Structure 1
């Protein structure tokens, strides 16, 4: 386990800071899901919408086009079975948008919480993975909990990888000391006796679960409590292991037959421009899985109240709610102004849409956000330029209409 300074940013790479500073694309709303939607939406002439260069015609994404995309889709499929930390312990109510959740390369996901320079040596058969993150406090003041679930071709290769990954991380720092996880004796774990942090690698089926815990407060006051760390690892595995056991990874020889979009959710999102460069690739997920991508986990209540069952992220974020009224409520909840947002000019000829501007103090925050709902769908765009945010949401509205 790598030695981390208390005042450092162990989870944030320079790449992430530049490319994934999405502050609150789906947070900061006002009101509640008990509010009814407004009256019927005004008629919209799609031909008068400014959609920029965004495509507004439906498309069929079909099967994966290459092995890299296939591994990414496999990681996204896995994500529907990886519990967010708040499901493990209700204290973990904060997310971090600077972390890559879907990964085929560990550099931008677990690269700051374990030694990955020898990852390929230790885990040559690694397929892809999905990472969950939660913290008890904001701004590195509480306890961080991560679970990186990694897929391997078979059980033996997963078991071998768990041993090897722990070994190369153990060897990365002289103070690392092996630790037993009594409830999971097959787990391989270590910590640094002067630091309230622990890493555990546990093979289960075709998966390796890497659990990482870092307690900033105890490290700051120079206190250690190994039993507390071990207990939290066990509690985490108690939730993660039975959940991921419900997922059946595709055999390696069938990866190239995976569908990019199983139910049209991703087809209903505008394509992401190449210059966006978000950490996570476009993808479609079950509604509960959207919790992994929320900046404010308080927003999950609104999602649950309106019955969100599917979520997709691409050039916009798109949620499918219970019905049209519920989608309109979600748009208000997530798209409304708060003390950190002020209203911005909506896109021309689309009265159903609203935009807002971030006026808070967070560095690198995306400045402009727009939102709209149509039928069961609520869509949210974000951009550093107001015109681009407006064009995205206009194009998304047109695409939703054209996808009927």
Structure 2
């Protein structure tokens, strides 16, 4: 019997052989093409993964700790739907309060009021694209211990309160430990709340009501309550690194940053390079709701940002969907040619009216990874995405 079955199997076609002999079935989903890396134009960009090891200096260690915090900070849209218009020029990761908080908080005495400050992560957005609605911002700051965080919350509020004679104290009913003030003639408020080693600074500014000279104190407090109700339990999951161990905490997360294209020195940048949990990617997108949805639907568990944005999805099929969802066309973009010998990469040109927008964008997938690059010149964007593809393949 055994010999008869073998002969029968050899007589059928390959497709029938698989079915008749109980062999492996055809793989589900798309099959990843094989690309000859030697044929790619990568310019002067590196194509080998990096081992980033430990921080080079205390400043980098503080940035890495702030990035770890960012994995736990909710976006404004998670607090209240509709807050989906971020400020692209405000850093999320910071160790310098002046550069990040100077526009919305008095920081001239920050070092005096908040000794021991380690680093912070900002999450902010408006519910209208042109400052015709409300801005909601949460800045979460790390301190060495709960005692220093508690003292800093009180002192930072006092410094900001004293910076303007129109400020008046205000209580936050559900958070009696909060320190807060507002200007009764304006729909705006600042709240400092210590929780564990952290200080949460919540800032609300209602451009529309201020323009209309209207004040709605209950609405202001309700948004503050919603914000704190969401952010305080979320950041409670963050486990701060002891200050004396910051230099021993690895820079990278699962090798994500090491397989991400290094940012050229001539590029301008707002945030330092970083590796994050997948959900944190929504903070860095111009359309955070779309990013959050794509991350959730495709099992994205890791995200890295440097000279490219790299997402690690559930599998190759999911990575293709990430590329399509986040790298697709819209009325502000038109398709342009793919890089030489890399037809799986897709490139597009921005044709909208924003003067400061980067002109060219390219995307590609490799295994579980979807990567996105950008540049002011098409060839540069193509070389970057080609190098990023080679880097991902070489990191396998």
> TM-score, with normalisation over the residues of structure 2?
0.90
| Match for residue 165 of structure 1 among 152, 156, 173 | 156
| Residue-by-residue CA offset, 1:16-50 (whole Å, 9 max, x unaligned) | xxxxxxxxxxxxxxxxxxxxx99544432211211
How far apart are residue 134 of structure 1 and its match?
2.1
- Structure 2: gaps spanning 5 or more residues: 1-27
**Aligned match of 2:125:** 134
What is the aligned-residue RMSD (CA, Å)?
Answer: 1.4
1:272 to 263, 278, 282: 263
**Which residue does the alignment assign to 1:184?**
175
Q: Paired residue for 1:341?
A: 333
Equivalent residue number for residue 329 of structure 1: 321
User: Would the aligned equivalents of 2:282 and 2:289 in 1 still touch at CA under 8 Å?
Assistant: no
- In 2, are the aligned partners of 1:41 and 1:352 still within 8 Å (CA)? no
List per-residue Cα deviations over 1:258-289 (Å, max 9, x = no partner).
Answer: 10113111111011111213111111111111
Q: 350, 353, 369: which is aligned to 1:377?
A: 369
Task: Name the CA distance, whole Å, in 2 between partners of 1:207 and 1:41.
Answer: 45
Corresponding residue for residue 57 of structure 2: 66
Counterpart-to-counterpart distance in 2, 1:225 and 1:156: 34
The runs of at least 4 consecutive aligned structure 1 residues that moved more than 6 Å come to none
How far does residue 346 in structure 1 lie from its aligned partner after superposition?
Answer: 1.5
Gaps of 5+ in 1: 1-36
- Aligned-partner SS, 1:198: strand
2:239 equivalent among 235, 248, 258: 248
Partner of residue 390 from structure 2, selected from 378, 392, 398 = 398
**What is the rounded CA distance, in whole Å, between the counterparts of 1:143 and 1:129 in structure 2?**
23
3-state SS in 2 of match to 1:130: strand
How do 1:214-233 and structure 2 match up within 5 A? 214-233=205-224
Q: CA deviation digits over 1:306-344, x for unaligned, max 9?
A: 121111101100011111011011111211221100112
Residue 51 of structure 1 pairs with residue 42 of structure 2: yes
Q: Distance in 2 between matches of 1:391 and 1:103?
A: 31
| Counterpart position of 2:280 | 289
Q: Residue 208 of structure 2 aligns to a residue in which SS? A: helix
Q: Is 1:209 the counterpart of 2:200 in the alignment?
A: yes
Counterpart of 1:150?
A: 141
Q: Say which SS state the counterpart of residue 250 (structure 1) adopts.
A: coil
CA distance in 2, matches of 1:284, 1:207: 21
Give runs of aligned pairs for residues 12-91 of structure 1, distance below 5 A.
Answer: 40-91=31-82
Structure index of larger Rg = 2
**Contact kept? 1:179, 1:189, Cα under 8 Å:** yes
Q: Distance in 1 between matches of 2:144 and 2:288?
A: 34
Cα-to-partner distance string for 1:184-214 (whole Å, 9 max, x where unaligned): 1111111111110000001111111000001
- TM-score by length of structure 1 reads 0.89
Q: Structure 2: how far apart are the matches of 1:59 and 1:297?
A: 29
Tell me how far apart the structure 2 counterparts of residues 298 and 229 of structure 1 sit (CA, whole Å). 23
DSSP 3-state at the match of 2:101: coil
SS in 2 for 1:211: strand
Separation in structure 2 between the aligned mates of residue 184 and residue 374 of structure 1, nearest angstrom: 48
Tell me the distance in 2 between the aligned counterparts of 1:47 and 1:214.
54
More relative contact order in 1 or in 2 (CA 8 Å, sep 6+)?
1
Query: 1:289-368, aligned counterparts within 5 Å?
Result: 289-299=280-290, 300-368=292-360
Contact 1:355–1:369, Cα closer than 8 Å, also in 2 = yes
Map Cα deviations across residues 216-265 of structure 1 (whole Å, 9 max, x no partner): 11111110012211221122111111111111111111001010113111
In the aligned structure 1, how far is the partner of 2:268 from the partner of 2:139? 22
